Structure 1
Amino acid sequence: MPDIAPLQQQIATGSGETEQHIIPAAAAPPSG
């Protein structure tokens, strides 16, 4: 699931905005 790779990078940054992106991303079904 390539979608996880970019998510991990965003999480590593630790910026507040990343959390908002993670919520919809996790809710979305795995494209893999």
Structure 2
Amino acid sequence: MSPQIISVPVDASQSEVLQIIRKYGLFAVPV
């Protein structure tokens, strides 16, 4: 099993980050 690294680009909007947080059930997202 290989872990999937989830991050967002610096210029991502708040709504894009929120979608990723909801999709993966995260509490924080690395930039």
The normalised TM-score by structure 2 is 0.30
Greater relative contact order, per chain length (Cα 8 Å cut-off, separation 6+):
1
- The structure having more radius of gyration, on CA atoms, is 2
- TM-score, normalised by the number of residues in structure 1: 0.29
Q: Name the one with the larger helix percent.
A: 1
